[in-house]
Structure 1
Amino acid sequence: MNERAPWEMFENFNEIVYASDMETYDIIYMNKAARDSFQITEEEYKKQKCYSLISRFSLPCYFCTNPKLKVGEFYEWVYHNPYLKRSFKLKDTMYCYEGRKIRIEIAIDLTLNEQENRSVNEMIRDEVFINSCLTMTHSASTPNESMNFMLQYMGQYKGCKSASIYEIRNNNWLYHTYCWDFENGICPVKAPFQIDFLEYIKEWKRKFVHNEPVILKDMEIIKRKMPEFYSYLAPEGVSCMVFIPLLYNGEISGFLRVDDPPDKKAKNIALVGRMMSHFIVSIIQRRNLVENLEYLSFHDQLTGALNRNALNAHLKKEDKRQKGRGVIYCDVIGLKKVNDMLGHASGDKLIVRAYQTLAGLFPGKVYRVGGDEFIILEDGKEEREFNQTVSQLKKKIRAENISLSIGSAWADGGEVGFEQLFKAADECMYEDKFSYYSQEEPMTGVPRETKRRSYGARSIAEKPQTSFGTFIEKCYFDAESFFQSVALPDAPFYLYCGDLEKNLYYISDNLKDDFNFDDNLVYDFVTHLEIRI
C-alpha cells in the first residue's frame, strides 16, 4: 500500500491548499476548496504551472517566496488575487518528498476580517498605484524621464516631502542621481559623496543585503554616528527618513530615500518602495545600456576621442555663434613607418599618446576623424586667444616629443562655415608637414623628404659584400647571441646599434631592463633614452 502524500490530509480543509514542485513550478496537488475556487478538475490542474493557474502570469511570479521557504517553518504574507478578486493571508512552507522539494501553500480568506480587511484595501490601492505608475513610467521616452516620473508619482501619491535615488559607483562612491521634492518638483542633484559607502554603513548593510528597508525617526542618531553622511544627506527639517535598498545581482547598487511620509505611513512606504525597487533597478540598467550605446556611437574605441558622428551631431545642433570659431587639424607624422617596422600595436600606442596630449589641452573637444587625424573645435574664442592656444599646443608636442603636423584656421561669428574652416586648416596642416619633411634630420644631416622617398629603396644585395658579411653568410653565426654576450647583465656599459635613416635601434638586454623598455627593438631610441635619463 502506497504511503499517502502529506498534503492529502487537506483534501476536505475549508481553506485553499495547493502543492507545487519548487524547481519546475508544476502543480502536483490542489484540495477541493482550491479546485472549486479555480473551477478546475483534478486532471486539469496537473497540467498547469502554479504561476500560470494561480496568478495568471506567463513567467514565475516576481514576488515568489520559494527562496525564503525552509523545512518545518512557515512564511506568512498577504496577497490579493486579481483573478479570484479576493485577498488571502498565505502560509507557505517547504516539504521534501520522494527526492523533490515541494512548496505547500495554505490560503486563508481575509474578506470577513474587518481589521485585516482595511490593511488589504490599502494593499489593493498600493497595487493599483504600482500598476498605474509602471504604465506611465514605460510610456516615457527616456529612462531618465521614467525615473523622474516614478519619484514624482510616488512622492505625490504617498504625500511625502521628497524622494531621491542614490547610486553606488566608482569604488563605492555615492552618487545622488535623481531628486524630486514637494515644493520644487524635479531638483538638481548633489556632487558625489567621496567615501567608501558600503564600509561606512556597516550597521545597515545586513538589512540592505536582505532587501530590508531602514526607517529613521531620530535624526540625532545618524548625525552622531555618521556625521559626514548626515551632512551629505542634509535632512534639514526632516523628522523621518525611509531608506529602501536597490539590489542588482544580489549586490547593493544604491538606495531609494523618501522623506517625511504621513503619520504612521512609514512602514507602508517601505513596503511599496521595496516592491518598486526592482523596477527602479531595471530603469537604471536600461539607462546604463542606452548611455553605453550612445558612448559607443559617439566615441572612438581606441582612444576615447569623439568621432565623426559626434562631430556631425555637434555641427547640426549648433546655434549661431556670437564669437569666433577656431579649427585645429592635426596629423600624426610617421604612423605608417611605425606600423611597418614595429607593428600596428606600436602604431596604436602612438595614436593614443597623441590623443592624450591633445585631450590634456582640449578636454571634450578632440575628434578623431581618420586613422591618424584629429580635429579640435574651439568655439567662442577671439582670434588672439585662439592663436595663443595653438602656440601652447605646439610647445607641448615639442616638450613631449610627439610628431604632429598642425594646421589651424579661425573665423569671426558665423561668417565662415565649418567646411571652409576645415579646408583652410587642412591646407595649413599640409604646409606644416611639408616644412617638417624639408628640414634635415639632426643626426644624419639628410633631408627628411629624401629619407622618406628612399626608405626601403635599396636592397641588401646592392650593398658591397665585406669579409665579415661573407663570414656571416657562409658560416654559422648567431648575431643576437654574440651581441648579448658582450653586454652581460652586470656589465658597466650598455650597447646599442641603429639605422640612423630609419631611426630604428636594437638595444642590449641590460639596457632594455634597466631603462624599462618594452622590447629590444626601439623606434626613436635616442629621444626615449633622453626622456628616461
Structure 2
Amino acid sequence: MMDKPDDLTGLVDAIDDVSELVYVADPETHDLLYMNRAGKTALNIDSLEGLKCYKVIELQDAPCPFCTNQYLRTDETYSWETTNPVTGRHYLLKDRLIKWDGKLARLEIAFDVTDYEKEKKDLRYALDTQQVVLDCIRILYKEQDLDKALNQVLQIIGQYLSADRAYIFKIRGDKMDNTHEWCREGVVPQIDSLQGLDVSIVIPWENELQNHQCIIMKDIEEIRGEKVYDVLSPQDIQNMVIAPLEENGQINGYFGVDNPPREKIRNIVSLLETLRYFIMITFQRHMDERRLQHLSLHDTLTGFYNRNKYILDIPEIANAGGSVGVVFLDFNGLKEINDFYGHSYGDQALKKCAEKMRAVFGNANLYRTGGDEFVIIASDQSETAFLSLVDTLRASLTEEQLPVAMGYQWQETSSDLKTLITLADQHMYEDKRRFYKDSVSSENPTRRPRNSSCIE
C-alpha cells in the first residue's frame, strides 16, 4: 500500500472507516494513489501498486471518455451519477481537486444510491403506468368506434411495454380468432393467420385460466411439445403475458403482449389486470348499445323494422332512385280478436302474418308500423315481378284465413315515394271497408279462422 501524506494521515484514517467508496488518483497519469477499505472491498483489490483508476473502477483500457477531470476545481465539488460495471450498483459521485503529497489530485466519493434509484424508477414507472391506464380508459370511453378504440389502446400498451405485438383474441364456440393487433415496426403481422384456432391449445394454462389469472410465459421452451408451441414458435415469440377476458364469469377472449423486455414482465401483469376489466366493460357496453339500437329500430314480436326505422328509411329510399313498390297491410279486427280470444292469440296471428310476408317479400324492407299495421317497401323490381309477389302474398294470407286488408302501388322511380305511400295506404283502407261491409256474422265480425291451429 502506498504511504499516506503526513498532513492527511488523520483524515485518511477517518475516511478508511466510512461506508462510502473513496479514492484518490493522479489526474494526469490516472494512477490510483489511495482507496479506502470500502472501495477495495467492493472492487476486490488488495494493492494499488501500478493500477489505473479507469482500469480498476470502470474496466476501461484507456482513460474514460466520460472522465470528469476537466471539470474539477479545488474550491467546488462536481456531482454526477453512474452505474458501476464492477459492482453493478448505482452511485452519486462527488469529485474535486485536493492537495495530495504536494500535488493536485482527483478525489472521488461514491455514495451508493441504488436502492433510492430503484425506488425512484419504481415510482416513475408507477406514475407512468397510471397515466397510460388513464389514457387507455379515456379512449375506451370516448371513442364510439370499438375497433378504432381497441387498436389505439393496443398501440399505447405495445409501445409503452416495448413489446413486439399487442393483441386481442375472441372466443366463438370452440374456436378463437385474433380480432385486433398492433405490431412494432419491423414485426410481421400475424392476425390473418390466427383465425379459427382451436381453443384447446390453451390447455397448458388451464389452472391459471380457471382462477382467472394472467398467463405468464417467460420462456417458450417451457411448453415445447404442446399444441400451442406449434402456434407460437413460428411467430418468433420468446415470452408473453396474456390476461383473460370474461363475460358473465366465463372466459370469452384474451388480451396480451408478445416479447416484452424480461425485466418488465413483473410490472406488466398488474397493468394488464387493470386494463382487461376496462376492455371487458367496453365490450359489454358496446353490446348493450347494439341491443338498444336494435330494439329502437326493430319490433320485438315479429322481428320486422319498427316505425322509427320506417321514418328514418323513407328519405334514403326516396333518394336512391330506381323502381319501388309499396304494400300496406292491416290486420282486420285485431282488437276484437284480442278481446274475444286473448292477446296471446292475437300475437300469434300477427306473427303468422309476418312469417307469410317474410316468406314472399324476404328481400324487401319489412316494417310493423303500428299494432296491426305493416308496410312492405320493395326496391328495384319490375312492376310485373312486384304484382306477382303481391298476388302470392294475398293467396298465402287467404289460405291461412288471416283477415288482412291490403293496398299496394308501384312506380318506376322512388323520387315521389310519399305520394306512392299515400296511394297504397288509401287502397288498403278501401280493402278494409270492403272487408267490414262483407262481414255478415254479428256473432264473430272478425271471422276467426276455422283452422285456428295455423296461428296457435
TM-score normalised by structure 1 residue count: 0.51
Q: Which residue in the other structure is 1:257 paired with?
A: 255
CA contact (8 A) 1:174 1:193 kept: yes
Q: Which amino acid aligns with 1:133?
A: C
When residues 147 and 397 of structure 1 are mapped into structure 2, their CA distance, relative to the original with a 3 A threshold, is: farther
CA contact (8 A) 2:166 2:258 kept: no
CA contact (8 A) 2:209 2:244 kept: yes
Query: What secondary structure does 1:211 align onto?
Result: coil
List aligned pairs for 1:1-40, cutoff 5 A: none
Q: Which residue in the other structure is 1:126 paired with?
A: 129
Q: Which amino acid aligns with 1:313?
A: L
Q: Which residue in the other structure is 1:153 paired with?
A: 156
Q: Which amino acid aligns with 1:410?
A: W
List aligned pairs for 1:82-97, cutoff 5 A: none
Q: CA deviation at 1:346?
A: 1.1
In 2, the alpha carbon distance for the partners of 1:222 and 1:292 equals 43
Q: Which residue in the other structure is 1:466 paired with?
A: none
CA contact (8 A) 2:243 2:272 kept: yes
Query: What secondary structure does 2:320 align onto?
Result: coil
Q: CA deviation at 1:426?
A: 1.8
When residues 317 and 177 of structure 1 are mapped into structure 2, their CA distance, relative to the original with a 3 A threshold, is: farther
Q: Which residue in the other structure is 1:409 paired with?
A: 409
Q: CA deviation at 1:279?
A: 1.1
In 1, the alpha carbon distance for the partners of 2:350 and 2:197 equals 33
Q: Which amino acid aligns with 1:353?
A: K
In 2, the alpha carbon distance for the partners of 1:121 and 1:421 equals 69
Residues 1:213 and 2:214 aligned together: yes
Determine which structure has more spread, i.e. the larger CA radius of gyration: 2
Query: What secondary structure does 2:252 align onto?
Result: strand
List aligned pairs for 1:110-125, cutoff 5 A: 112=115, 114=117, 118=121, 121-125=124-128
Q: Which amino acid aligns with 1:528?
A: S
Q: Which residue in the other structure is 1:356 paired with?
A: 355
Cα distance per residue 1:47-84 (max 9 Å; x no partner): xxxxxxxxxxxxxxxxxxxxxxxxxxxxxxxxxxxxxx
Residues 1:289 and 2:288 aligned together: yes
Q: Which residue in the other structure is 2:372 paired with?
A: 372
Q: Which amino acid aligns with 2:326?
A: V
Query: What secondary structure does 2:209 align onto?
Result: helix
Cα distance per residue 1:247-275 (max 9 Å; x no partner): 456x1342333353444355654442221
List aligned pairs for 1:393-408, cutoff 5 A: 393-398=393-398, 402-408=402-408
When residues 150 and 502 of structure 1 are mapped into structure 2, their CA distance, relative to the original with a 3 A threshold, is: closer
In 1, the alpha carbon distance for the partners of 2:192 and 2:358 equals 27
In 1, the alpha carbon distance for the partners of 2:440 and 2:225 equals 74
In 2, the alpha carbon distance for the partners of 1:141 and 1:296 equals 19
When residues 204 and 334 of structure 1 are mapped into structure 2, their CA distance, relative to the original with a 3 A threshold, is: farther
When residues 420 and 502 of structure 1 are mapped into structure 2, their CA distance, relative to the original with a 3 A threshold, is: closer
CA contact (8 A) 2:318 2:416 kept: no
Q: CA deviation at 1:369?
A: 0.7
Q: Which residue in the other structure is 2:275 paired with?
A: 276
CA contact (8 A) 2:176 2:253 kept: no
Cα distance per residue 1:412-452 (max 9 Å; x no partner): 344322x21211222333455566x4xxxxxxxxxx844x2
Return the structure number with greater relative CO, CA threshold 8 A, min gap 6.
2
Q: CA deviation at 1:347?
A: 0.8
In 2, the alpha carbon distance for the partners of 1:226 and 1:112 equals 40
Q: Which amino acid aligns with 1:257?
A: F
Q: Which residue in the other structure is 2:310 paired with?
A: 311
Q: CA deviation at 1:161?
A: 5.0
Query: What secondary structure does 1:423 align onto?
Result: helix
Query: What secondary structure does 2:370 align onto?
Result: coil
In 1, the alpha carbon distance for the partners of 2:162 and 2:382 equals 53
Cα distance per residue 1:182-232 (max 9 Å; x no partner): 489x9999999698x6x88555443124332224665996996479x96xx
When residues 173 and 408 of structure 1 are mapped into structure 2, their CA distance, relative to the original with a 3 A threshold, is: farther
When residues 526 and 303 of structure 1 are mapped into structure 2, their CA distance, relative to the original with a 3 A threshold, is: closer
In 2, the alpha carbon distance for the partners of 1:210 and 1:380 equals 56
In 2, the alpha carbon distance for the partners of 1:381 and 1:223 equals 60
In 1, the alpha carbon distance for the partners of 2:121 and 2:329 equals 72
CA contact (8 A) 1:243 1:255 kept: no
Q: Which residue in the other structure is 1:97 paired with?
A: none
5+ residue gaps, structure 2, are 1-112
Query: What secondary structure does 1:301 align onto?
Result: coil
In 1, the alpha carbon distance for the partners of 2:234 and 2:364 equals 37
Q: Which residue in the other structure is 2:141 paired with?
A: 138
Q: Which amino acid aligns with 2:279?
A: I
**Identity score, percent:** 24
In 2, the alpha carbon distance for the partners of 1:411 and 1:376 equals 14
Q: Which residue in the other structure is 2:338 paired with?
A: 339
Q: CA deviation at 1:364?
A: 8.1
CA contact (8 A) 1:213 1:244 kept: yes
Q: CA deviation at 1:242?
A: 4.0
Q: CA deviation at 1:374?
A: 0.9
CA contact (8 A) 1:407 1:425 kept: yes
List aligned pairs for 1:407-486, cutoff 5 A: 407-417=407-417, 419-433=418-432, 437=435, 449-450=437-438, 452-456=439-443
CA contact (8 A) 1:167 1:253 kept: no
Query: What secondary structure does 1:258 align onto?
Result: strand
Cα distance per residue 1:82-102 (max 9 Å; x no partner): xxxxxxxxxxxxxxxxxxxxx
Residues 1:528 and 2:453 aligned together: yes
CA contact (8 A) 1:160 1:258 kept: no
Q: CA deviation at 1:245?
A: 0.9
5+ residue gaps, structure 1, are 1-109, 438-447, 457-498, 504-522
When residues 378 and 449 of structure 1 are mapped into structure 2, their CA distance, relative to the original with a 3 A threshold, is: same
In 1, the alpha carbon distance for the partners of 2:242 and 2:406 equals 55
When residues 315 and 154 of structure 1 are mapped into structure 2, their CA distance, relative to the original with a 3 A threshold, is: farther
Query: What secondary structure does 2:305 align onto?
Result: coil
When residues 159 and 200 of structure 1 are mapped into structure 2, their CA distance, relative to the original with a 3 A threshold, is: closer
Query: What secondary structure does 1:296 align onto?
Result: helix
CA contact (8 A) 1:165 1:177 kept: yes
